[in-house]
Chains A and B, each alone.
Chain A
Amino acid sequence: MSSVLEVRHLSKRFAGSRKTPAKEVLADVSFQVGEGEFVTLIGPSGSGKTTLFRMIGGLELPTEGDISIDGANAVGTRGHIAYMPQQASLMPWLTVSANIELSLTIAGIGKREARALARDWLARVGLEATAHQYPDVLSGGMQQRVSFLRALLSPQKLMCLDEPFSALDALTRQHMQAWLLSLWESNRRSVLFVTHSIEEALLLSDRILVLSAAPASIIREVRVPFPRPRSEALWGDAEFIRLKQELYDMLRPDPTL
């Protein structure tokens, strides 16, 4: 299987100053995301997931190690990923459609094509009524749908989703997971997903990488065995519950600390 993202022996230390001590955030992290594969990083908060994303996005340089995206070295270079942040991050002065078009044109798609894509897909996911509305009239869940669509339509091979549902209420979150699942399963892209939710990880992913607390390293890899297409019915599955318990035990804070 050819890998779209390959991270090799990545480490990151932030040099200290007089006031803050030096901090090691990532320690020798290696993994890859295959073509059309959904890989989830899960770990306690403060385990350097955001730093890892910033390095993959090219905003931060690793202290050691390599990142390659689609076969090309991507250390310190931007524009190789489609990105969905924690908060929807839509420009408040642009309509929903114009927001999508903006991201697509930044990714190098022509204006006319970007517009056609945005209109076409907004209609396809039942959001055509919002195309000419401004983001502030949309609910949080709707904004995240637009944000996901924007990432899905971007031409880059790798999609990075950074805790995209963490700001939503529990019910909306479940709806969003089901929505994303169905959309992704019919349009397979390579995804690197970060979450704190074990159920979310199990429902969506092909593989789950468990990160330790800082300095983060991968302590476990779980291959999620459920066949696709999946649905929320999985939540009652015995294997699902067993894996959930297993992951929960791994993520429990060290009692000796």
Chain B
Amino acid sequence: MGSKRARLLPPLIVTAAFLLLWQAAVWLFGTDAYILPSPSAIAKQAYDSAPQLAHHMWGTLRITLIGFGAGALLGFLIAALLHVIPWVKSGFYPLLVLSQNVPIMAIGPLLVLWFGFGMLPRVILIALVTFFPVAVAMMTGLSKSDGRLFEYMRMIGASPSRLFWRLELPGAMPHLFSGLKIAASYSVISAIYAEAIGSDSGLGYFILIAQHGFETVKVFAAIAVIVLLSLALFGVIALAERLFVRGGSPRGKEGSRS
């Protein structure tokens, strides 16, 4: 437990120092709050608008989770499908990469145009952004299963489905989780963007309104909530990783010996 606390200490000190420096700079140069508010002013604003922020945070959290869940599931299924049927991989892989080259700035308003102002276009947008890192990480993991284990399983007569479920998929779990972590961060950012273009709630919408009123303090308060939200999501996934990826993963410290 003691060592865990010791590991938390450096980032805490750096963050605290950063905030102090910021506070001092704003106070020293007398910067106007609408240009750059001080951390203490942001904290006070967050406290004052807590009910409002909480309301919008729930909206953001809801579509983030739905979009992230749908995107992760989609990425997982695509990776599995592309892995199991090789010609599908060669055919569809370029299309997958292509899907990430379409700027979401362009696709966002189009989705609203096609699917209206409901939740659907926002969820689609988030899923579109999040499925990719999951699919790519997962495909890498599936194709990198241990050759010796693969040979062993084939020698004792394991069927292709057994090979997938008992060897390739568990072997890909560390990769899958790296993909999920990246996707989690993307999903919050894309949720904010989606709320700014076609919504009447959520932190994205809140920021948009605050910006129109030059209420920079509110913008920063919302940013703080978004950062905490991202961290929480990341933490949940890291926790799930620790629960699901057991034993020595191939990248584990023991594995490096051989």
**Residues of chain A at the chain B interface (Cβ within 8 Å):** 53-54, 57-59, 78-83, 85, 87, 89, 91-95, 102-103, 106-107, 134-137, 154, 160
Contact A79 B249 (CB under 8 A): no
Question: Which segment of B30-38, B94-102, B150-158, B195-203 sits at the interface?
Answer: B150-158
Residues A92 and B255 in contact, CB atoms below 8 Å apart: yes
In the assembled complex, 27 residue pairs joining A and B whose CB atoms fall closer than 8 Å, in A order, are A58-B157, A59-B154, A79-B156, A79-B157, A81-B155, A81-B156, A83-B152, A85-B151, A87-B148, A89-B151, A89-B152, A91-B247, A93-B247, A93-B249, A94-B170, A94-B247, A102-B166, A103-B156, A106-B153, A106-B157, A106-B158, A106-B162, A134-B246, A135-B248, A136-B247, A136-B248, A160-B155
Given A89-B149, A91-B170, A106-B166, 13 additional A-B pairs, CB 8 A: A78-B154, A81-B156, A83-B152, A85-B152, A89-B151, A91-B167, A93-B171, A93-B246, A93-B249, A94-B170, A106-B156, A107-B156, A135-B248
Q: For A83, what are the chain B residues with a Cβ–Cβ distance below 8 Å?
A: 152, 155-156
Given contacts A93-B247, A135-B248, A154-B156, contact A85 B166 (CB under 8 A): no
| Alpha-carbon separation in the docked complex, A81 to B152 (Å) | 11
| Cα distance, A245 to B40, chains bound together (Å) | 87
Q: With CB as the reference atom, state the residue of chain A lying closest to B249.
A: A92
Flag if A93 contacts B156 (CB, 8 Å). no
Tell me how far the C-beta of B156 lies from the nearest C-beta in chain A, rounded to whole angstroms: 5
| Residue tally, chain B, CB below 8 Å to A | 25
Which one of B152, B166, B247 lies within 8 Å of A134 (CB-CB)? Answer: B247
Q: Which residues of B contact A137 (CB under 8 A)?
A: 254
Asked if B252 lies at the interface with its beta carbon under 8 angstroms from chain A, I say: yes
Given the complex of chains A and B, what is the CA–CA distance between A93 and B174 in angstroms? Answer: 11
| Nearest Cβ on chain B to A67's Cβ, whole angstroms | 14
Contacts of A81 in B (CB 8 A): 155-157
How far apart are the CA atoms of A78 and B255 in the complex, in Å? 30
Please give the residue numbers on chain B whose beta carbons come within 8 Å of chain A beta carbons, in ascending order: 148-149, 151-158, 162, 166-167, 170-171, 173, 245-250, 252, 254-255
Most chain A CB within 10 A, of B151, B171, B173, B245, is at: B151
Determine the main DSSP class of B at the interface with A. Answer: helix
The residue among B152, B156, B167, B173 with the most chain A CB atoms within 10 A of its own CB is B156
Closest to B245 in A: A93
Closest B residue by C-beta to A78: B157
Kindly state the separation between the CA atoms of A57 and B255 in the bound complex, as whole angstroms. Answer: 28
Given contacts A92-B249, A94-B247, whether A107 and B167 have CB atoms under 8 Å apart is no
Q: How far is the CB of B210 from chain A (nearest CB, A)?
A: 48
Give B153's nearest chain A residue, CB to CB: A106
Closest Cβ–Cβ distance, residue B146 to chain A (whole Å): 8
Report the separation of the CA atoms of residues A162 and B156 in the bound assembly, to the nearest whole angstrom. 13
Which residues on A sit within 8 Å (CB–CB) of B173? 93
- Minimum CB–CB distance from B158 to chain A (whole Å) comes to 5
- A92/B252 in contact, CB under 8 A: yes
Rounded to whole angstroms, the CA-CA distance of A80 and B254 in the bound complex is: 33
Q: How far is A57 from B158 in the complex, measured between Cα atoms in Å? A: 11
- Do A134 and B156 contact each other (CB < 8 Å), given the known contacts A85-B151, A91-B170, A92-B255? no
State in angstroms the CA–CA spacing of A58 and B247 once bound together. Answer: 31
